[in-house]
Amino acid sequence: MNKQPILYSHSLEADLRKEVEQCAPDKLFILTDEVTNKLCLPLLDGFLKEVGIITIPTGDIHKNLDSLQMVWNALDEKGASRKSLLINLGGGMVTDLGGFAASTFKRGIPFINIPTTLLAMVDASVGGKTGINFNGLKNEIGVFNTARCVIIHTPFLQTLDMQNLLSGYAEMLKHGLISDTNHWAELLNFDWNEPDWQYLQSLIEYSVHIKERIVEEDPHEHGIRKALNFGHTIGHAFESLSMETNQPILHGYAVAWGMICELYFSFMKLNFPKDKLEQTIHFIKQHYGLYPIHCKQYDRIYELITHDKKNTSGKINFTLLSNIGEIHINQSATKEEIIQLLDFFQDIM
């Protein structure tokens, strides 16, 4: 898998035009959802006479086969060829689905990601994972394929509400936990009451660098890339449960709550430092609030966890930490241990 260039842009239209000219497509398409079509597409006004606009419904519940087929149909009807280019303008749902659509249409056309949310900037648009949700499971169908480039334009962040900012920040906190103590401490001390946007951009760049370094070492997730799934084994189960109960939660919130459980498991199994566990839990509770679960839901949460893609030969596998930056992949767990984690989570919430 090729390493994808990442461009931190201060002049979005000019930088995008340069990338498009290098690609020299026969036709150009921009994929948006309903929100980015309204709020973000106008920033590319100079392109709009030259491109086909494809718009899909907003929200992770629409990261599915129906939306994927909408994109394939639109590309086909508008005469896209293997030399065409798709620009994915949106959050992680758009970059995931758009990347998968491009990777499979006519066996693959090039695509550029322009993430418009913090979550997409530091996670979804970077690293070559594409895909859709299927049968109630997160990212169940997809391929590894890198964008031609990722253009990060941080002024988009000032259009987001605090919940969506914090959703992306949870992935940054995860990057801090799997990298180094100084970066973790910087993230815990960032003041969300009066955000310093310039400082946040430097934190974003460092966070993306952490992910890039891991992806470059293990592009297809055979080993160390599993570190990026920290918090996701239980987080994805929370997220899937929330969709089943028609009370959907943002991905980053699910990951934040999943990290509480998986840090506690790290403490139980690998002696992760108690003070760092408590500091991280305090930050998450302060910023992300509560996710109420009931013991009657434990069996369903466990069943959802059994579908996690990291599982092998019937074993449920976690990524755990013995300290910040000290990563242990493929740590198995029994059902009894998972119930313990859920009990701990319910108690502290």
Give pLDDT, residue 15.
Answer: 95
Average pLDDT along the chain: 94
CA distance 26 to 84: 5
Q: Which two tokens stand for residue 69?
A: 């087929």
Q: In b/e form, how buried is each residue of 198-226, taking b as 16+ CB within 10 angstroms?
A: eebbebbebbbebbbebbeeebebeebbb
**The pLDDT value given to residue 49:** 81
Mean local confidence (pLDDT), 308-321 = 86
Quick one: pLDDT at residue 118?
A: 96
The yes-or-no verdict on residue 4 having pLDDT over 90 is: no
Residue 2 has pLDDT above 80, yes or no: no
Torsion of CA 273, 279, 240, 171, to 10 degrees: -90
Q: Give mean pLDDT, residues 134-160.
A: 92
More confident residue, 126 or 83: 83
Residue 173: is its pLDDT beyond 90?
yes
Average pLDDT over residues 200-223: 93
Q: Which CATH architecture has domain 6-159?
A: 3-Layer(aba) Sandwich (3.40)
**Residue bearing tokens 């946007």:** 197
Q: Which residues, other chains included, contact 67 with Cβ-Cβ below 8 Å and sequence gap of 6+?
A: 56, 57, 97, 132
Pick the CATH number of 162-348 from 1.10.3720.10, 1.20.1090.10, 3.40.50.40, 3.40.50.920: 1.20.1090.10
Q: 46 pLDDT band (50/70/90 cuts)?
A: confident
Collapsing DSSP states into helix, strand and coil, what is residue 304? helix
The answer, yes or no, to whether residue 1 has pLDDT greater than 80, is no
Q: Taking 80 as the threshold, does the pLDDT of residue 286 lie above it?
A: yes
Strands 28-33 and 51-56: parallel
Q: Which of 336, 328, 100 is nearest to 223 (CA)?
A: 328
| 3-class DSSP assignment, residue 13 | helix
**46-50, 205-209, 244-248: least confidently modelled range:** 46-50
Position 7 scores a pLDDT of 94
User: In this structure, are residues 133 and 105 in contact, taking their beta carbons and an 8 Å threshold?
Assistant: no
Q: What is the pLDDT of residue 126?
A: 87
Token duo for residue 295? 């013991």
Tokens representing 276 are 């760092």
Residue 28, φ and ψ in degrees, nearest 5: -125, 135
How far is the C-alpha of 225 from the C-alpha of 230, rounded, in Å?
A: 10
Q: C-alpha 162: how far from its chain's center?
A: 17
Residues 217-246, mean pLDDT to the nearest whole number? 93
As a whole-number percent, the residues of the chain with pLDDT over 90 amount to: 86
| pLDDT, average across residues 186-193 | 96
- What is the average pLDDT across 146-163? 93
Instruction: Kindly tell me if the per-residue pLDDT of 271 is higher than 90.
Output: yes
Please say if the pLDDT value at position 6 is more than 90.
Answer: yes
Q: Where are the domains of the chain?
A: 6-159, 162-348
Q: Is the dihedral of CA 45, 51, 52, 55 positive or negative?
A: negative
**Strand partners of residue 156:** none
Q: Is the pLDDT of residue 259 over 90?
A: yes
**Is the pLDDT reported for residue 238 higher than 80?**
yes
> To the nearest 10°, the Cα dihedral for 103, 104, 107, 109?
-40
Say how many C-beta atoms besides its own lie within 10 A of residue 99's C-beta: 28
Residue 220 banded pLDDT, cuts 50, 70, 90: confident
- Round to whole Å and give the CA distance between 84 and 124: 23
- Reply yes or no on whether the pLDDT at 310 is more than 80: no
Residue 312's pLDDT is what? Answer: 78
Dig out the tokens for 304 from the structure. Answer: 């959802």
- Longest Cα separation, the chain: 59
> Residue 192: phi, psi to the nearest 5?
-80, -10
| Stretch 288-297: mean pLDDT | 94
